[in-house]
Chain A
Amino acid sequence: MTLQRNLLIALGLAALVVAPAFIYPMLIVKLLCFAIFASAFNLMLGYTGLLSFGHAMFFGSAGYALGVTTKFLHWPPELGILAGIAVAALIGFVAGAVAIRRQGIYFAMITLAISQLIYFVAMQMEWTGRDDGFHGIPRGRLFGLIDLENDLALYGLVAVCFVLALLAIHRIVTSPFGLALTAIRENEPRAVSLGYDVERYKVLALTLSAALAGLAGSLKALALSYESLNDLHWALSGEVVMMCILGGLGTLGGPVAGAFFVILLQNFLADKVGEWLSVIIGVVFLSCILAFRKGLVGEIAAWMERSRKPIPGQESRR
């Protein structure tokens, strides 16, 4: 299993290096941004067991924060990205403090309400450019050295951030905090009875998830030199739920695969079917859910698990 996993990781890294030679780099940048976003969301739904229906607020707010700091304050891109992460994390913390006492559908509704609030505020503000979008975000020079106007350089930055984000998520879910979170997800009343203040752990999980979603949103705004209200819209919050569930919750690779699948499908169909796009995506989503309950990656993992022979001696202990 670990050998297979290492092989997969090596293949993935190799693919990241050679991909821009074959595929338009800006498409991969977009794929990677949404893969980070979906992975961040998975930290909530997959690992904490809470369905947030307002994750676009972190993605979009970070994009605007990066825009404001780099365009108006002339911050370098690395600080702009950090600003986006910080703003998203702050919103995540506040939203968490407000919503975390609620369970299930109520949590989803409150996060949706907060994200709608932010959407309408952004729509009222002059500086966001409203429906026209926030234009003219400079890509700038990374650390004053690397000119990000070069698409390949930008691709490099996004690819590195993508790898770091996945490493961060892996570390978070296997950390002492991640294990406490697992216990809470598995049996919340029991965790309470062992003295865990479960709400604090959930707020921290949402803050971390928001920060990573912020990283994704910042990178996307930087790459496109443009931020729009669509990135704050509830439809995007729904899309990220779909990516996660399609790919497989609670796995590291699932949301990545789900994001790639949804974005590629959208790209492929966009100029062919017009209005029908969301209907087709919806049907694909539904059939996938019915066919693969654990998501694409989840089903593959389960299949590999089944095909492994039980280790002799393991059974005799019971």
Chain B
Amino acid sequence: MTHILETVDLCKEFSGFRAVDTVSLKVREGEIHALIGPNGAGKTTVFNLLTKFLPASSGRILFGGQDITGMKPAPLARRGLVRSFQISATFPHLTVLENVRVALQRRLAPTFAFWLPGRVLTRLDGRAMDLLEQVDMQDFAAVKAADLPYGRKRSVEIATTLAMEPRVMLLDEPTQGMGHEDVERVTRLIKRVAAGRTILMVEHNMKVVAGICDRISVLQRGAILAEGSYAEVSADPRVLSAYMGSETQLEGAHG
């Protein structure tokens, strides 16, 4: 198996404080890879570095074998490394359909044409509906994103990200703050859309991680503490003490 995404000694310092400390992460093509760790471990910062929303202090990032360390975020997204955000990231005053269409428009329709009427974009509606069906949101197409319940916003985000036809999707805590049912629905959804692509996700819910993730990297205070399958990682005493020490979380994983 080849590594589609790889970091080499990646570091990020915020005025002297090392938020990410010589992280060498290897994500295999086609897998669902989890990045876990306690609050403040640096998971979101790793995502920001990978997607170039933050410049790295040192180290390199390879995507599909190419060095992307010096790239800008938007062109990198166009190459197929697409992220979501920890706090939900929809366009609140656009409808669900329009949210997805914004992503389609960038690839398939004019975006600078200020002289054309907006209705030229309606030819994207069919594709947008297809994507909404994939995440089971077709009934919400005309609803404003801001009016959706939280769990449904996550689905809109995933549909929007899918519209980019990404090679790698980075999901930052996709089930955070969700009720039981929504967690299950979104987990199934992630499993489904993982077909044919790679997913790197930050996740606190061990049940989700145990259920769908092929590999797990544990981050603690900016550095990688352990790596392996769920069985390997959850048996690691250092991980147990650092992160999965609480019984409830382990119970959740098996229950």
**A interface, CB within 8 angstroms of B:** 171-172, 174-180, 182-183, 186-187, 189-198, 200-201, 204, 208, 317-318
Assembly CA distance A302 to B103 (angstroms): 30
Say whether, besides A191-B102, A194-B164, A196-B106, A182 and B91 are in contact (CB < 8 Å). yes
- In contact, A195 and B113 (Cβ under 8 angstroms): no
B224 at the interface (CB under 8 A from A): no
- In contact, B102 and A179 (Cβ under 8 angstroms): yes
Note all chain A residues with C-beta closer than 8 A to B111. Answer: 176-177, 180, 196, 201
Assembly CA distance A311 to B154 (angstroms): 27
Query: What are some 23 contacts across the A-B interface (CB < 8 A)?
Result: A176-B111, A176-B112, A176-B113, A176-B120, A177-B110, A179-B105, A179-B118, A182-B91, A182-B94, A187-B89, A189-B85, A190-B85, A190-B89, A193-B73, A193-B83, A193-B85, A195-B77, A201-B111, A204-B112, A317-B142, A317-B143, A318-B147, A318-B148
CB distance from B3 to the nearest CB of A (A): 22
Partner of B91, one of A175, A176, A190, A208: A190
Assembly CA distance A317 to B148 (angstroms): 11
- In contact, A317 and B140 (Cβ under 8 angstroms): yes
Q: Taking CB as reference atom, which chain B residue is nearest A200?
A: B112
**B interface, CB within 8 angstroms of A:** 51, 53, 72-75, 77-78, 82-85, 89-94, 98, 102-103, 105-107, 109-118, 120-121, 139-140, 142-143, 147-149, 160, 164
Partner of B114, one of A178, A183, A186: A178
Say whether, besides A204-B112, A204-B114, A208-B114, A176 and B105 are in contact (CB < 8 Å). yes
Say whether, besides A174-B118, A190-B85, A196 and B74 are in contact (CB < 8 Å). yes
Note all chain B residues with C-beta closer than 8 A to A191. Answer: 102
CB distance from A281 to the nearest CB of B (A): 32
Say whether, besides A174-B118, A180-B105, A201 and B112 are in contact (CB < 8 Å). yes
- In contact, A177 and B106 (Cβ under 8 angstroms): no
Partner of B121, one of A176, A201, A204: A176
Say whether, besides A187-B92, A190-B91, A196-B106, A318 and B114 are in contact (CB < 8 Å). no
Note all chain A residues with C-beta closer than 8 A to B142. Answer: 317
Kindly name the residue among B85, B91, B103, B107 whose own CB sees the greatest number of chain A CB atoms within 10 A: B91
In the A-B complex, the 8 residue pairs with the smallest Cβ-Cβ separation, listed nearest first, are: A177-B114, A195-B78, A195-B77, A190-B89, A186-B91, A174-B118, A183-B102, A180-B111
Q: Taking CB as reference atom, which chain A residue is nearest B149?
A: A318
- In contact, A175 and B114 (Cβ under 8 angstroms): yes
The tally of CB-CB contacts under 8 A between chains A and B is 111
Note all chain A residues with C-beta closer than 8 A to B73. Answer: 192-193
Note all chain B residues with C-beta closer than 8 A to A190. Answer: 85, 89-91
Say whether, besides A183-B94, A190-B91, A195 and B106 are in contact (CB < 8 Å). yes
Note all chain A residues with C-beta closer than 8 A to B89. Answer: 187, 189-190, 193
CB distance from B88 to the nearest CB of A (A): 10
Kindly name the residue among A195, A198, A318 whose own CB sees the greatest number of chain B CB atoms within 10 A: A195
Assembly CA distance A77 to B75 (angstroms): 44
- In contact, B75 and A194 (Cβ under 8 angstroms): no
- In contact, A186 and B94 (Cβ under 8 angstroms): yes
Say whether, besides A172-B114, A194-B164, A196-B111, A189 and B102 are in contact (CB < 8 Å). no
Given A172-B114, A197-B72, A204-B114, 9 other A-B residues pairs in contact with their CB atoms under 8 A: A177-B111, A179-B102, A179-B118, A182-B94, A190-B91, A194-B77, A194-B106, A195-B106, A318-B140
Q: Taking CB as reference atom, which chain A residue is nearest B103?
A: A194
- In contact, B112 and A177 (Cβ under 8 angstroms): yes
Note all chain B residues with C-beta closer than 8 A to A317. Answer: 139-140, 142-143
- In contact, A187 and B90 (Cβ under 8 angstroms): yes
Assembly CA distance A92 to B137 (angstroms): 42
Assembly CA distance A175 to B89 (angstroms): 23
Note all chain A residues with C-beta closer than 8 A to B82. Answer: 193-194
Assembly CA distance A171 to B139 (angstroms): 30
- In contact, B118 and A175 (Cβ under 8 angstroms): yes
Partner of B92, one of A171, A172, A186, A204: A186
- In contact, B102 and A194 (Cβ under 8 angstroms): yes
- In contact, B102 and A175 (Cβ under 8 angstroms): no
CB distance from B48 to the nearest CB of A (A): 10
CB distance from A315 to the nearest CB of B (A): 10
CB distance from A238 to the nearest CB of B (A): 27
- In contact, B117 and A175 (Cβ under 8 angstroms): yes
- In contact, B143 and A176 (Cβ under 8 angstroms): no
Note all chain B residues with C-beta closer than 8 A to A176. Answer: 105, 109-114, 116, 118, 120-121
- In contact, B74 and A198 (Cβ under 8 angstroms): yes
Note all chain B residues with C-beta closer than 8 A to A171. Answer: 114-115, 117
Say whether, besides A176-B121, A179-B105, A196-B74, A189 and B91 are in contact (CB < 8 Å). no
Assembly CA distance A185 to B82 (angstroms): 20
Note all chain B residues with C-beta closer than 8 A to A318. Answer: 140, 143, 147-149
Note all chain A residues with C-beta closer than 8 A to B160. Answer: 194
CB distance from A263 to the nearest CB of B (A): 28
Assembly CA distance A220 to B81 (angstroms): 51
Assembly CA distance A192 to B93 (angstroms): 18
Note all chain A residues with C-beta closer than 8 A to B164. Answer: 194-195
Assembly CA distance A190 to B83 (angstroms): 9
